[in-house]
Amino acid sequence: MVGGIFITVNDVQVLLGCERYATAWAYYNSVRDAINKKHSKKITIKEFCEYEDLEFEYIWKLLRVNK
């Protein structure tokens, strides 16, 4: 599997169209807090899609094309 199942801050940057890494990092942390994940745990792409109400397959393909 290319890229793995976890969403990264760089992935969030691509999805949001953020220029600043810090903005994407802050958003990533707010999502992690909202889904009650410890800061030592990663967010899966599926969890992110459920939180944002996005279609998983579309986001999965979009992120894998950008890798």
Predicted pLDDT at 64: 84
Q: What is the pLDDT of residue 65?
A: 80
The alpha carbon dihedral of 57, 26, 16, 64 has a sign of negative
> What is the model's pTM?
0.86
**What is the chain's pLDDT, residue by residue, as a tens digit (67 residues)?**
456 799 999 999 999 999 999 999 999 999 999 999 999 999 999 999 999 999 999 999 998 886 6
What six digits make up the tokens of 16?
A: 């949001």
What DSSP letter does each residue of the chain carry, written as one string? --S-SB--HHHHHHHHT-S-HHHHHHHHHHHHHHTT--TTSPPBHHHHHHHHT--HHHHHHHHHHT-
